[in-house]
Amino acid sequence: MNSLGRQILVEFYHCDAEKLNDERHIAKAMHDAAELSGATIVEEVFHMFSPHGVSGVVVIAESHLAIHTWPEYGYAAVDLFTCGDEIEPEKGLDHLKQELGSQNVSVMELKRGVLEVQNRPLLHKPDATPATVEEAA
């Protein structure tokens, strides 16, 4: 069976609270993580909460990289969804671990859009050509 994408859920524990509460630091770390993963960045949006915490998303051509921080708990939740086969998420996630000062990381990966497609290419993949799209229809 093929899947349309993979979603990696990462929990960063025992992080540096000051880094988790610094919107510019989080935005740069996320941008760099997306680039290191080999993703194509489309747009970035980050928001600083009061009294503390940052949420943000880096929209990538392959899907998204999102973060939510809780400085008061030294915790950050990161979600990387990709429908591309060229992304190397481990590189970006290792970078985030370092940039957040995390001492403990938990990772869970899910296959998303698991389809029973027999002898047909997945049309959203880079190797899909007009001929394969017509054949699948």
Catalytic center residues: 63, 68, 83
H helices, E strands: number in the chain: 4, 6
CA distance 20 to 48: 10
Measure CA 39 to chain center.
9
Report the phi/psi class of residue 27: left, alpha or beta, with left for phi > 0 and alpha for psi in -120 to 50.
alpha
Strand segments (E) across 1-137: 2-13, 41-48, 54-60, 63-70, 75-82, 104-115
Residue 128 identity (one-letter amino acid):
A
CA distance 105 to 76: 10
